[in-house]
Structure 1
Amino acid sequence: MHDEMRDGTGAVRPLWAGLAGVLDGAGPDGLAARRADTRRLLADDGVAYHPPGAETEQLWELDPLPLIIDGAEWAGLERGVAQRAELFDRLLRDLYGPRSVITRGLLPVEVVDGHPGYLHAWRRPAGAPARRELFLSAVDLGRSPDGWVVLDDRVQAPSGAGYAMANRRVVARVLSALHRRSGIRRLGPFFEAMRTGLRGGRDPEDQRVVLLNPGPDSETAYEQALLSALLGVPLVLGSELTVREGRLWQHTLGRLDPVDVVLRRLDAEWCDPLDLRPDSRLGVPGLVETARLGTVSVLNGLGAGVAENPGLVPFLPALCRALLGEELLLPGTPTWWCGDPRAFAHVRARLDELVLTPVVRGGQAVRGAGLSAAQREDLLARIAAEPHAWAAQREPVLSTAPTITDAGAADRPVALRTFTVASGTGWEVLDGGLGSVPAGTLLRDGVATPAKDVWVVGERAEPTGRPVFGTDEAVPAPAPGGVSPRVAEDLFWLGRYSERAEDTARLLRAVTDRWADFQSTPDPAGANALRALLTATTATTRTAPGFGPLLADAHRVAPDGPAAISAELRSLLRDRDRAGTLGFAVHRLTRAAQAVRELLSTDTWLVLGRLDAVLADITTEDASDGLNRVLEGLLALAGIAAESLVRDAGWRLLDAGRRIERAQHVVALLRATLCDAPRGPADRLVVESVTIAAESVITHRRRNAGRPGVAPLLALLLTDGENPRAVAYQLARLTDDLAHLPGTVPEALDAAVRALAEADLVAVTARDSASGTRPALRALLTGLGADLDRLADEIAAAHFAPVRGPRPYDPLVAVAS
């Protein structure tokens, strides 16, 4: 077994001397601190992975100790992985064109046609020019005692390059001194090459590229968003694209934008329900046909999945000689395709030494050594029934490198995923990659974790890749043409939930402070005010029955009320599954942010991660302090949105969402507190609490010290166009935001503006002599609330009308209809 850091005598290799010094100097506590710093930075950057079937994302796992490779050794690997990319591109062009490798006997037809990754719908019509099939490829490598070997090929929709960049950003801070003095090659040029390659061979002046992905719940949603940001291309869902008149278009607000290139992170079978998988709701009906017509390029080609078949591995050396005229530079793991009778006989005789795996990715690998006699016979019978669907591999013994574990530094097996992209100057190989500490040694089921940063040390040699798209110079990517309805809606709700969380936090801070002041006081005014505020909190947050059943009468809480009220307050603070709570608002805010991650500053995740941590620890006993910290984070988030986002249509909708939510909150708060407010001192305490919750207490005191009535408060919070907390201010901002969007001004906005302009704030404060309530004020606020609700609906109808996703095609249903 090869040790990456030490030679056969146990001496540290010169390349690893710096890291060895870090390990020796840190000790167990220092290593634990580096590990903790790594996790904190990953959380601050929002680096996440969404395991299949999990409800939420989990923190990406990264070992802070890098895998270090000498630049001279890397040059050989670089040539090998570039050659492999060229080989697979040539092979795929042939398999979807003349299929000469099959007719010449270089490749059994069963290896191709018997694999579900081979898409007959992707075949080129006779006479059609060859198209690029491979743009981005990945190769999993491991160092065995005999040298570097290929563990797996990733050409369907390779993942991991974005995570490699995320790893570098974190490790560069955790090991900052070592990183600065080690002469590590940069990762940035690879992504620059991707940007060039995506527009290569076509007119760059009007090229529009999109990144097609499965959605925010996909396993690598974080990485897809990071790639979108690094490449400067919009992240789109299949439902946001449409085929019309033989072209692919993207839905944006008020128009359709043509699409020239699709970089896909969606597996091929899901990409087109017409020609591929009919039950797919993730793809674009007609995408295959537009690619056939040549009006759009799909990268990687939709048929690339067949090249991930391990049954190809035994044939690659001969294919390389035939297609490239070269010997294969990087050997694969010794592999036997069971469709070959001689290979199957070898597998049968050596089953104890091999790992059996279905050729379809995701199939469960079986170690022959762990089988009983009965299990061996059962497995061999399954293979004999469909031998073309199985391959056997000799499991390699991987080299080891130091990794931080719970017990300190220990040697663990390591593997490496390399990345190659077709750019304007040839095949560009990422100087580094995604290192991993695999649980096993066969990486057939996705990116293994924990991950490692990969440092290639030494000056870069001159590029030796083959020209692919010619020598056109890179052209900066044009600005995105618009915001899709889905992104617009997510931004709108991002604004709404951020404001809802802030408003709820302010209200709960005011209420918990009053609860601490008056829960056990004999003061009737305080008890009445507290009861009014608790009732208003339930109404404002729409969490009925809430506090209602816990209040016995107008002067006291029920005998068992304090504990129950405290529990209800705790629920309002932390329960993320209950609509109306602070926890729910923050959770939905995070989900909305994840859906548009590619548009947001990385500082956003620094704020959101800390919000979750604060909410997890908050209690009713220290609610005020915890809510202050929540508000600090939410105010920081508001500042990021205000100062870091371009004032495009997306930002206008984000701001509109915030303005609608703030106006609705103010109206609901006033309706819940003032319409049925108690008289006398309790009324004044309620008014003061309202001004605190509405962030207007100082202004109210300064302006109305001699006029403590309700009318001045209404003027401040309803009609004062200079008060950023007033409804009139929100309506003015909404008018401006919506004026920058396509379409007409919603009728509900005009209605709300008129209602405020015509309101007599003195008259509406009058109480009914019999009930003591303020019916005119209730009518005004109820009408305003209805207008604001209708305004939100009108904005949604105008800008977020969902694009109808494809329905499964059933010929029988089609005929019947």
Structure 2
Amino acid sequence: MASRAVTGLFDAGTIADRWIGDYCAPGRVSDMLCSRAPGDEGWTAMLEELAAFGGESLDHARERAQRHAEDLGTGFRIAGEGEERPWPLSPVPLMIPAAEWATIEQGIIQRADLIEAIVADFYGEGRLVAEGHLPAALVTGSPFFLRPLVGLKPPGGHHLQFIAADLGRGPDGAWRVLSDHLRAPAGAGYALENRLAMSRMLGGLQTRLNIERQAPFFAAFREGIAASCRRADPRIALLTPGRLNPSYAEQAHLARYLGLLLVEGADLSVIDDSLYVRTIAGLKRVDAVWRRVDPRLLDPLAFDSHSTIGVAGLVDALAAGNVVVANAPGAGVVESAAFAAFLPWLSQIMRGEKLKLPTTATWWCGQGSERAVVAEKLDSLVIAPAFGNTARGLPDGPMLGSELSGDARAALLADLERRPQDYVGREIVNLSTMPVVSGDRLEPRPFILRVFAARGADGSWQVLPGGFARIGEHPDPRATVMGDGTWSADVCVHGAQPVEPVTLLPSGDSTALRRNPGTLPSRVADNLFWLGRYLERGESLLGVLRVLLGNSISAESGAALAATTVRRLVDMVVGAGAAPAPDSYRRNDLQQFVTTAMADTEAWHSVRAINRQARLIGQGSRERLAADMIRLLDAPFPTRGGLLDKAGSLQRRYSALAGLSAEHMARTDAWRFHDLGRRLERAMAVTRVVRTFSVADATGDDLSTLLDLADSQISYRQRYPTGMARVPALDLVVLDPGNPRSIAFQLGAIAEHLAKLPVLSDDGLAEPQQALAREIEAIISTTRAADIDAPLLGDIDMRLARLSDAIGRRYFLQGAEPLRAAGLVLA
């Protein structure tokens, strides 16, 4: 075995040496791989691991890396698009020696302390402007300056808890800062997911190269926020704009990894200057919010009154010291491109030292001499908006001055003359390259490194070792041309010293045991409830279509159902709004009818449309669902085969989803709401099926169809081998509590769930939803099968609808009414 392992390593080493030789042969002196220091074996070891994993096929390695990223559920959304895209992960990580990383780390910490001091001055004494170190227009003219926060000192004393910066490495090997991210820094979750995916693929690299771990950074960040709170065991939430945000998948992953509540603005409410989350057990105190919402949309009472994603009164709670907001709103004023021109000077006057990581040379056109420099050097600079993403003369964002001509150049110069403060000129930065897989070979591409820093429990800054790299699509090394990049890569910091195997999972001996899964926000309960209902609704509709397909449309002989039974099946589909009534009951018209009911995406509540709703709900609750469940919800609608093949594929998918929820979801309140939705929808569906097919003159086909749609055909035949009869069928499908598809069974499960969910009072009396469930259960349990008729079933159907409304009013806290309702728990 040993000799084989050595041989394998030798083969991998030979392949890696050939890759490096072919890649560096053109003399790429500014490339990270080709310009590595003598004795730096990081790149070689990484490529050997890659070769040992996939042999000589780099294309196979790329596919495997992408598959690992997708298995983790990593995705992102382009603004304006409805569907998420898979996160593009390169199989070749960026390797940085520990000594080189130390320089980056020191520079980021210095920069974070400097920016904290600047922001504190802006919202505090205001000396920098008063003493003439900064133009007043640079601060008060910025859309990121939030005047209502002047004089407000954040809880814990810090405006910044978490920052990010984009770095570029020049051809000379020196790193510089291209931009700062302070308002709602994104990407740390992607760095974490990149590392998880690469660890699955290159697991041996961690110990072989002593790669720095990321868990200590995230643990320090969580402890840092907690240390700023007033309570010893604070409740911390991650505030997201919602599932349509481009980085929602990353936010959900971070919330799950850090053990934070993932909340939206509608989940939160401020009462008496304290922040609460709406939960199924009432209002619960929130002590800290890591926000990913634009600060101008954070509080409609303090900032943008049109915001529908913020929390009214949040700034009052912040001012009262009752909630920590990370980062404090208003810090983004230093994020603007215009401010980069002043950071070197501010570092000298405030800290008496140069920046260890220089900023890209920038000229703000709001000053006369700087505007003249930009006008003179226009063709050798990047022209960019000074504040925000656009300016009137740059409708498409930053541009190379040399590429502006004709009307575009004239429009820019005119607006530069009219509103010079809206523009900056920046030097053109040429970036180093790193290898990426293109086809089945390594190709150089420019990259930008995003790094992250967070405060620990003692208030000092911790830097995430590595971050993630954004890689350009084209070889052009200019940072402006690269844009946002096409691929991402893990960033590995490696050194000679062994790395302690730290994880966010504490040791079993030091962890306080708990079986309470924590707070369940009302919105999440609502989502899980309706996810269960939509899945059950889609499966029920599909069941009707499968009976049509299997017993009528696709029948080649006399096995077809009777015309009256077919008509009743069609009426059920039409009544559900899944398709318009067919022109006739001929084979071709019925096939078109089923096709519409199964796959229409425009006007009808088809199976496909129902699945789309389930998928959207799943995307909004992904921090609560297993990756396998998300993948099944996101799976494309089947397109191969005939109608029966597609129906079978969908049925297997529904069965898999039901199995995952039944066997893999812990029996928490979250599971109860999901199963409650399934049981309620199934009870309503079976009630309607019984009303349709158990008429007094029901035929054998009617009763057989009833048993098919209630998934009770086998149970009936085992119990009554002599043939079909109406009363026994009704007893089995409606009243038998031992039949998992019967109405009685669903009502028993519903009553059990409602009995175990939280109540808002301790008087021992049933809440409205509990009382309604017991009433319906009592009616069913005291009814005889021979007495079941259409009026009784209609009454049950209406009571089930009222029960659904009662569950929504009690647990989902719709609107403002529940905030004023008596008995809500404030904890």
Above 0.5 in TM-score?
A: yes
- Secondary structure at the counterpart of residue 153 of structure 1: strand
C-alpha separation in 1, matches of 2:719 and 2:676: 29
Partner of 1:488: 525
Sort the Cα spacing of 1:236 and 1:288 in 2 relative to 1 into closer, same or farther, 3 A. same
Give 1:586 shift: 2.0
**TM-superposition CA deviations, 1:750-769 (whole Å, max 9, x none):** 442233234332244xxxxx
- Secondary structure at the counterpart of residue 418 of structure 1: strand
Give the AA of the match of 1:668.
R
Give the AA of the match of 1:711.
V
1:49 and 2:76 equivalent? yes
C-alpha separation in 2, matches of 1:728 and 1:297: 49
Partner of 2:444: 411
Partner of 1:760: 784
Sort the Cα spacing of 1:544 and 1:128 in 2 relative to 1 into closer, same or farther, 3 A. closer
CA contact (8 A) 2:640 2:646 kept: no
CA contact (8 A) 1:260 1:295 kept: yes
Sort the Cα spacing of 1:478 and 1:184 in 2 relative to 1 into closer, same or farther, 3 A. farther
Partner of 1:662: 682
Give 1:563 shift: 2.9
Partner of 2:657: 634
Q: In structure 2, which of residues 681, 705, 708 is the aligned counterpart of residue 692 of structure 1? A: 708
Partner of 1:590: 615
Q: In structure 2, which of residues 618, 627, 630 is the aligned counterpart of residue 602 of structure 1? A: 627
C-alpha separation in 2, matches of 1:248 and 1:160: 27
The aligned length equals: 762
C-alpha separation in 2, matches of 1:288 and 1:424: 24
CA contact (8 A) 2:229 2:323 kept: no
Partner of 1:144: 170
CA contact (8 A) 2:544 2:569 kept: no
Q: In structure 2, which of residues 650, 668, 673 is the aligned counterpart of residue 647 of structure 1? A: 668
Partner of 1:792: 804
1:803 and 2:823 equivalent? no
Give 1:429 shift: 0.9
CA contact (8 A) 1:361 1:445 kept: no
Unpaired runs of 5+ residues, structure 2, are: 1-27, 391-396, 501-509, 761-766, 818-827
Give 1:591 shift: 1.2
CA contact (8 A) 2:548 2:566 kept: no
Partner of 2:557: 521
Give the AA of the match of 1:635.
A
CA contact (8 A) 1:728 1:756 kept: yes
Partner of 1:570: 595
Give the AA of the match of 2:625.
L
- Secondary structure at the counterpart of residue 622 of structure 1: helix
CA contact (8 A) 2:33 2:435 kept: no
C-alpha separation in 1, matches of 2:511 and 2:325: 20
CA contact (8 A) 1:106 1:315 kept: no
CA contact (8 A) 2:398 2:480 kept: no
Unpaired runs of 5+ residues, structure 1, are: 464-472, 552-556, 765-776, 806-817
**TM-superposition CA deviations, 1:787-813 (whole Å, max 9, x none):** 2112111211222242349xxxxxxxx
CA contact (8 A) 1:152 1:444 kept: no
C-alpha separation in 2, matches of 1:787 and 1:132: 54
Partner of 1:401: 434
C-alpha separation in 2, matches of 1:653 and 1:446: 44
- Secondary structure at the counterpart of residue 402 of structure 1: strand
Q: In structure 1, which of residues 340, 350, 367 is the aligned counterpart of residue 400 of structure 2? A: 367
1:620 and 2:643 equivalent? yes
- Secondary structure at the counterpart of residue 199 of structure 1: helix
C-alpha separation in 2, matches of 1:130 and 1:483: 27
Sort the Cα spacing of 1:256 and 1:628 in 2 relative to 1 into closer, same or farther, 3 A. closer
User: Superposed, which structure 2 residues align to 1:87-236 within 5 Å?
Assistant: 87-124=114-151, 131-146=157-172, 147-176=174-203, 178=205, 181-236=208-263
Give the AA of the match of 1:85.
A
- Secondary structure at the counterpart of residue 792 of structure 2: helix
C-alpha separation in 2, matches of 1:433 and 1:42: 16
Give the AA of the match of 2:598.
L
Sort the Cα spacing of 1:530 and 1:156 in 2 relative to 1 into closer, same or farther, 3 A. same
C-alpha separation in 2, matches of 1:474 and 1:193: 17
- Secondary structure at the counterpart of residue 227 of structure 2: coil
Partner of 2:11: none
Give 1:405 shift: 3.3
Give the AA of the match of 1:538.
V
Sort the Cα spacing of 1:778 and 1:479 in 2 relative to 1 into closer, same or farther, 3 A. closer
Sort the Cα spacing of 1:415 and 1:2 in 2 relative to 1 into closer, same or farther, 3 A. farther
Partner of 1:433: 467
C-alpha separation in 1, matches of 2:133 and 2:29: 35
| Higher relative contact order, structure no. (Cα contacts within 8 Å, ≥ 6 residues apart) | 1
Partner of 2:376: 349
Give the AA of the match of 1:172.
S
Give 1:21 shift: 4.2
Give 1:631 shift: 3.5
Give 1:92 shift: 0.7
TM-score (norm 1): 0.86
Give the AA of the match of 2:372.
A
Partner of 2:12: none
CA contact (8 A) 1:251 1:257 kept: yes
CA contact (8 A) 2:94 2:492 kept: yes
Give the AA of the match of 1:630.
R
Give the AA of the match of 1:713.
A
Partner of 1:543: 578
1:779 and 2:795 equivalent? no
Give 1:360 shift: 1.9
Sort the Cα spacing of 1:207 and 1:123 in 2 relative to 1 into closer, same or farther, 3 A. same
Give 1:49 shift: 1.2
Deviates further, 306-315 or 181-190: 181-190
CA contact (8 A) 2:579 2:604 kept: no
- Secondary structure at the counterpart of residue 312 of structure 1: helix
- Secondary structure at the counterpart of residue 409 of structure 1: strand
CA contact (8 A) 2:751 2:774 kept: no
Sort the Cα spacing of 1:434 and 1:455 in 2 relative to 1 into closer, same or farther, 3 A. same
C-alpha separation in 2, matches of 1:2 and 1:105: 44
CA contact (8 A) 2:300 2:312 kept: yes
TM-score (norm 2): 0.85
Partner of 1:59: 86
Give 1:503 shift: 3.0
- Secondary structure at the counterpart of residue 497 of structure 1: helix
Sort the Cα spacing of 1:91 and 1:185 in 2 relative to 1 into closer, same or farther, 3 A. same
C-alpha separation in 1, matches of 2:591 and 2:216: 56
Q: In structure 1, which of residues 331, 336, 356 is the aligned counterpart of residue 358 of structure 2? A: 331
CA contact (8 A) 1:512 1:624 kept: no
Give 1:734 shift: 0.9
**TM-superposition CA deviations, 1:423-479 (whole Å, max 9, x none):** 11421111111211135854799964321111222257999xxxxxxxxx9999997
Partner of 2:13: none
Q: In structure 1, which of residues 500, 512, 533 is the aligned counterpart of residue 549 of structure 2? A: 512
Give the AA of the match of 1:76.
T
Give 1:161 shift: 0.3
Give 1:197 shift: 1.0
Give the AA of the match of 2:551.
R
